[in-house]
Each structure stands twice: as structure tokens, then as C-alpha cells.
Amino acid sequence: MTIIAAADGSALGNPGPAGWGWYVDDTCWAAGGWPHGTNNMGELTAVLDLLQQTAHLPDDLLVYCDSTYVINSITKWMPGWKRRGWKKGDGKPVLNVEIMKALDEAMAGRRVRFVWVKGHAGHELNEHADRLATTAAACWKEGTPPDPGPGFAGARVRHPDARAGQVLDEPDLFSEL
């Protein structure tokens, strides 16, 4: 079986209040964010949360994403960054390196396919994920955490947006935020 989802991120001001969200259907989705972050952090964390929440399942994963940065980071650039000690080709450090390292770990042994979709173009799953991310960022702008959503039962996550009943394995993963 294949789990089909969309993941998206948002930042108001970029940087500013930031949110992320992924969506499978009305009964299976998640959202989170921070009082201060970037759009890329949101985009990456949406995929990271989805990977971590589905890690205990045997299913393949198909992820619709409107961020070529996220797709290329995971599918093209990451092997080179790792070989160079998490440095880019120009020798500069990889941005969002802690999230990238967590994504690298979460992808290990997984069967995941990413498909780019144009944002704000009517793709049903992407529109839902975008609304979740934008709403989460707006909540943080108002100073309140967003509704985290139901997620996947039995999930373990390793980022600061752990939901009730889930285990937060590495609380310092995003300590630089």
C-alpha cells in the first residue's frame, strides 16, 4: 500500500511566525510551527514530521510538495553534502543542517517518492497542506500554538512539535531556533 500525502510550509515575514502542515485526509493530518522561523524550515519540517509519523508503517510514501528546495535537498543534494561534511559545493555550511540531518535519518530504508506540484494551483492535497501551514503560522503570530492534528497513531517524532501520546526523542534537535 502507498500513503499519499502533501506537505507544505509557511512563514509570515520570512523569517517570522512559521508553520508547517501535511495532509492525507480529514482524519489524518498534522500541523505545527514556531514563533520565529523561515518558509524553508516549515517546508522541511512538514516532510520530516510526515516521515517520522509513518516510520512504523510498512507502506510506501508518495509526497506531493510545492518546494523544489525540499525535493532537491532530499533526492539530489544530500549525498554530496554528507560527503563534504554537510557543506555545500562552495564550502559554505548547509542551511537548516539539523533538519537536513534528521531528514537523512528519516529517509534511511524508506520507499519514498516526491512529486512536485505547483503551489496555489488547485491541487487538492497541496491546498489542504498549505492551509494547515498558513493557519499554523497565523496562530504563532497571535501567540498560540496551532491545532496539531490527529497525525498517525503510534508515531514517534523527533522535533519540537510532538503531540500528546507521541514520544519526543531528541528535544534539543532545534535548539538553535
Q: Is residue 176 part of a domain?
A: no
Q: Is residue 16 part of a domain?
A: yes
Asked about 49 being catalytic, the answer comes back as no
Q: Is residue 177 part of a domain?
A: no
In this predicted model, what pLDDT tens digit does every residue of 153-165 receive, in sequence order?
888 776 655 443 3
Asked about 120 being catalytic, the answer comes back as yes
Tell me the pLDDT of the chain averaged across its residues: 89
Annotated catalytic residue, options 37, 42, 43, 98: 43
Q: Is residue 49 part of a domain?
A: yes
Asked about 26 being catalytic, the answer comes back as no
Q: Is residue 175 part of a domain?
A: no
Looking at residue 158, what is its pLDDT?
Answer: 64
Q: Indicate if the pLDDT at residue 177 is higher than 50.
A: no
Asked about 130 being catalytic, the answer comes back as yes
Please say whether the beta carbons of 170 and 48 come within 8 A.
Answer: no
Residue 150, C-alpha cell as written in the block:
490527529
Percent of the chain at pLDDT > 70 equals: 89
Report which of 127, 122, 157, 149 is spatially closest to residue 45, judged by C-alpha positions. Answer: 157
Q: Indicate if the pLDDT at residue 80 is higher than 90.
A: yes
In this predicted model, what pLDDT tens digit does every residue of 120-135 receive, in sequence order?
888 999 999 999 999 9
Annotated catalytic residue, options 19, 21, 49, 66: 66
Asked about 66 being catalytic, the answer comes back as yes
Work out the average pLDDT over 52-61. Answer: 95
Looking at residue 160, what is its pLDDT?
Answer: 54
Annotated catalytic residue, options 89, 90, 120, 143: 120
Global pTM exceeds 0.85: yes
Give DSSP secondary structure letters for 68-121. HHHHHIIIIIHHHHHHTTSB-TTSPBPTTHHHHHHHHHHHTT--EEEEE--TTS
φ/ψ of 169, rounded to 5, equals: -75, -40
Rounded distance between C-alpha atoms, residue 118 and residue 127, angstroms: 10
Work out the average pLDDT over 22-50. Answer: 95
Q: Is residue 79 part of a domain?
A: yes
Q: Is residue 50 part of a domain?
A: yes
What is the residue range of 122's domain?
2-168
Asked about 159 being catalytic, the answer comes back as no
Rounded distance between C-alpha atoms, residue 22 and residue 130, angstroms: 8
For residue 145, give the CATH number of its domain: 3.30.420.10
Q: Is residue 174 part of a domain?
A: no
Q: Indicate if the pLDDT at residue 17 is higher than 90.
A: yes
Number of domains the chain is built from = 1
